Amino acid sequence: MTLTKAHIVENLFAKNLFTKGESAQIIETLFELIKQSLQDGEDVLISGFGKFSTKEKHQRRGRNPQTGEPITLRPRSVVTFNLTWSKRKNLNGETPDSSHWGLRASRLDYAAKARSCEPSRPSQGVGYEAGS
């Protein structure tokens, strides 16, 4: 089943927070804000869900699939969506745990240790005598 705007309105109305008319108006306003932001070239980040952004496609050569005739596809903007890391893990049946962040932290610790083991460079002017 596809989730439609009407389904979203019904679910919001079922929570008994708003009337059906108010629910429809809230959803309409939300989608208008998202559309306007994307048209203005801004990203839309919904924390814990994902990020909508626009991407510019350059002019390119293509082919008419019915005739096989070469055509030129004009430049255009497309909307992309990236799901958050935790939602992607849930979608794939994995539980989002801290192992990802633990791995990142261990890499940062390793990098810090590596920097601390580097031989220090003598600073100029210290222990330097002119003419020697």
Q: How many of the other CB atoms lie within 10 Å of CB of 7?
A: 11
Q: What is the pLDDT of residues 18-74, one digit of tens each?
A: 999 999 999 999 999 999 999 999 999 999 899 999 999 999 999 999 999 999 999
Residue 52's identity, in one-letter code, is: F
pLDDT tens, 85-121? 888 888 788 776 655 555 555 555 555 666 666 555 5
Average predicted confidence (pLDDT) for the chain: 82
C-alpha distance across the termini of the chain, in Å = 84
Angle between helices 5-14 and 20-39 (to 10 degrees): 130
Asked if 51 and 88 touch (Cβ cutoff 8 Å), the reply is: no
pTM of the model: 0.61
